[in-house]
Chains A and B, each alone.
Chain A
Amino acid sequence: MTALSLTNVNKSFGKVHVLKDISFEVEDGEFVVFVGPSGCGKSTLLRVIAGLEDATSGEIKIGEDVVNLTPPSKRGIAMVFQSYALYPHLNVRGNMSLALKQEGQSKNVIAERVNKAAAMLNLGEYLERFPSELSGGQRQRVAIGRAIVREPKLFLFDEPLSNLDAALRMNTRIEIANLHKQLSASMIYVTHDQTEAMTLADKIVVLRDGRVEQIGSPMDLYNNPANKFVAGFLGSPSMNFFPAGLVSEGDDRTIGIRPEDLFVAEDGALSATVTHVEKLGGDTNVVARLDSHQITARLFGQHDVEEGTGIRFGFAPERIYRFDQEGARLSQ
């Protein structure tokens, strides 16, 4: 069964066309991540699904119902915001139970659901506190709890981790992944961080300039990008691109190769000058200048590479990607 399906959804703000002909489906229990650079329309798309913005054209179905004209609270969704958006005048319990009260649920049901969600998120001892008395991570958990108690058909996350520091971000990421397993609910998650997208998603939707560039599982997109944009966006450090002419004379295509697929070789095809070395312990990233292009090689383990020296990289021919002038992927 599909939890959500979008058919040719468009959105314009006046003359600005923000979302262009977006169609895709979210299966029941699936974790879908929208990813793309800032300004690509991913948050707008989420708001259209939530009903906070109206679609200019196209059809949005949640479950079996067309919801284009349904207000957000009646769509069976719950949303977690980047800035937490907790109600400052209510304590944690009040924050979590407000939506249920609006729905007219009985007191028993409200108490039961709030306690269950609080237990799930380790919020039990904070129920009587106010948002101003909580840390950033706790606030975000309350925001997630507020979504859980509604038992929605679809969870929407709008960059929920961007306000947290790095260590907390990783923990919360794992918590969200666990939550998805426990609730087996359908979730949509917006982020500009490709690591979050790769680690959380069952399915990634890559957006650029209001268009869907590619949809697929994380490994699908990583191994089989449809175009240069997707290839460059996923993976860290990102894929290297250089003109094929550097390797074979007269070739006007672009070659892409992942940093981990480059290796140092005496007779390698690419001759470059090392400009910078990042030693991470587990890996060593060698940044080098190839003609006028910057390329990065990710070497496993620790290597002593001196900056300013010449270096030759080799690669396996089957590991390279070729793109035409417009950036579309070409078969080998």
Chain B
Amino acid sequence: MNKARTNPFNKTAMHGALIIYTLIALFPVFVILINSFKTRKAIFREPLAMPDSESFSMIGYQTVMKQGDFFLYFQNSMIVTVASLFFVLLFGAMAAFALAEYRFRGNLWMGLYLALGIMIPIRIGTVAILEMMVATGLVNTLWALILVYTAQGLPLAVFILSEFMRQVSEDLKNAGRVDGLSEYTIFFRLVLPLVRPAMATVAVFNMIPIWNDLWFPLILAPAEETKTLTLGSQVFIGQFVTDWNAVLSALSMAILPVLVLYVIFSRQLIRGITSGAVK
């Protein structure tokens, strides 16, 4: 294995493949970014050209700022995403800990039941969800979205996290018990830090679909004050005319926060913190 790693040809080939993949992955983002700074004509004439002094224009961003309350949409998206992730991780980890740690009647069935949601798309239940939200008066509130996304994220979270929780050293948890720590302290102080990489994985998996979702905001919270970014951007896409400058500018701005969140979580993905706890 070491030999293969130090072989210069393999190294070049590996880096080459990674660079090509990076270019392919970043290309659409790049095109969106450069075109968001161009005039409408320039976008259509030469979509791949960099903006120059002639074609440079901030018209897209200006439209976005003028039309609707873009910062409110932005804030709504942020609140919904962060709150949903928080609840998914909190409840998912707690359920996973219980399933992995405690022997109780129906443990296996409970685990299967909680994981079942992975196979059933939540959108099938849209009508029922809408009726429920109407009945509870949650329509057009951010809570409606947070609750739905939490429900949507939990199955995968429980499934992945319980697998990781089982790998946390039994001895470590028992040492905590002998030392008089409560089950909650054991969970929050000993177990959670050790499964942080798994939590980050779950967070990344859940974050992007929630941030990009159009379906539930459109159905459950279409009011002006609860619009999310994705829904807010739709005003620029018409049936006959699409304001491409505005769409591209909105998209460019929507990419940023996801990028930041991703960077935060991905550092956790890489960091190995188990060393020293158990051999």
Mark A residues whose CB is within 8 Å of B: 47, 50-52, 71-74, 77-79, 81-89, 98-99, 102-103, 130-134, 136, 139, 146, 158, 163
Contact = CB atoms under 8 A, between A and B. Distances in A.
Interface in B150-181: 169, 171-172, 174-181
B279 interface: yes
B179 A52 contact: no
Contacts of A71: 177, 180
A158 B190 CA distance: 20
B181 to A, nearest CB: 7
Interface centre among B172, B180, B193, B274 (most CB of A within 10 A): B180
B277 A131 contact: yes
A119 B179 CA distance: 21
Interface in B92-110: none
B136 interface: no
The 10 closest A-B pairs by CB, nearest first: A132-B276, A73-B180, A131-B276, A99-B179, A85-B171, A102-B180, A81-B171, A85-B175, A88-B277, A83-B278
B18 to A, nearest CB: 30
A83 B181 contact: no
A85 B180 CA distance: 15
Interface in B263-279: 273-279
Given A81-B171, A163-B279, A88 B178 contact: no
A254 B181 CA distance: 53
B198 interface: no
Contact of A102 (B174, B179, B190): B179
B277 A52 contact: no
Interface centre among B275, B276, B279 (most CB of A within 10 A): B276
Contact of A79 (B175, B193, B194): B175
Contact of A132 (B178, B193, B194, B275): B275
A87 B277 contact: yes
B193 A84 contact: no
A72 B278 contact: no
Given A102-B179, A102-B180, A85 B194 contact: no
Nearest to B275: A132
Given A99-B180, A102-B180, A85 B174 contact: yes
Contacts of B276: 86, 88, 130-134, 139
Given A52-B174, A79-B174, A89-B189, A84 B278 contact: yes
Contacts, number: 84
Given A87-B190, A88-B277, A50 B178 contact: yes
Nearest to A100: B179
A88 B180 contact: no
Contacts of B179: 73, 98-99, 102, 146
Give chain A's interface secondary structure class.
mixed
Given A81-B171, A83-B278, A163-B279, A88 B177 contact: no
A81 B180 contact: no
Interface residues of B, number: 22
A95 to B, nearest CB: 9
B171 A82 contact: yes
B180 A84 contact: no
A87 B176 CA distance: 8
Nearest to A79: B178
Nearest to B276: A132
A154 to B, nearest CB: 11
Nearest to A98: B179
Given A83-B171, A85-B169, A85-B172, A78 B178 contact: yes
B273 A102 contact: no
Nearest to B175: A85
Nearest to A78: B178
A78 B275 CA distance: 24
Contacts of B279: 83-84, 136, 139, 163
A163 B171 CA distance: 14
A287 to B, nearest CB: 34
B174 A89 contact: no
Contacts of A136: 279
A89 B193 contact: yes
A317 B2 CA distance: 61
Given A73-B181, A99-B178, A139-B279, 15 more contacts: A72-B177, A72-B180, A73-B179, A77-B178, A81-B174, A82-B171, A84-B279, A85-B172, A85-B277, A87-B190, A98-B181, A132-B275, A133-B276, A136-B279, A158-B171
A158 B174 CA distance: 12
Nearest to B194: A88
Contacts of A89: 189, 193
A86 B277 contact: yes
A88 B189 contact: no
Contacts of A102: 179-181
Contacts of B177: 51-52, 71-73
A85 B168 CA distance: 10
Interface centre among A51, A99, A103, A158 (most CB of B within 10 A): A99
Contact of A88 (B174, B181, B273): B273
A51 B180 CA distance: 12
Contacts of A83: 169, 171-172, 278-279
6 contacts: A50-B174, A52-B177, A79-B178, A84-B171, A87-B189, A99-B178
Given A88-B194, A99-B180, A103-B180, A81 B175 contact: yes
Interface in B222-277: 273-277
